[in-house]
Copies of this chain bind each other. A is one copy, B any other.
């Protein structure tokens, strides 16, 4: 392989990570846009009858993103207290201790910190093992890397955005 081809491969690898990060940012921004548009009263509503409220989904998304710090090995959770209410328990089992304003701030802080950590990673780092797969399994399934977690979490955000939009008035 020529030097030019090697450079091209490296660039495509960088591009590949760049695209995954762009997709991630784009979903974060869609949530931000909804949080700017929807009122507190809107967010207190169920997204459909008997389904999660906007506030619960926001807390859930914040808790999931917070979990990326340890999962990707880029730090500790900023708000581990979100886990019980928004990841383990279904809505209404435990009353959220956080107001909407607090959850919005957590969401913003978590994403900002994550992004600064992400930008410090080199493209190759994204292809390393994440922390919920063993070294043995990773050797057999190299796609279970950090970038894959990011792709899956991007889809997960999009899934819940599809629900949050139902709070917008038609």
Contacts and interface: CB of A to CB of B under 8 A. Distances in A.
Contact of A155 (B16, B127, B154): B154
A143 interface: yes
A135 interface: no
Contacts of A111: none
Is the contact region of chain A dominated by helix, strand, or loop, or is it mixed?
helix
A100 interface: no
Q: Interface centre among A48, A127, A154, by most B CB within 10 Å?
A: A48
A39 interface: no
A160 interface: yes
Interface stretch (A7-15, A76-84, A101-109, A112-120): A7-15
Contacts of A9: 6, 9-10, 13
16 contacts: A1-B3, A12-B127, A13-B16, A15-B127, A15-B142, A15-B143, A16-B16, A22-B148, A48-B51, A49-B49, A151-B154, A155-B158, A158-B159, A159-B162, A160-B162, A163-B163
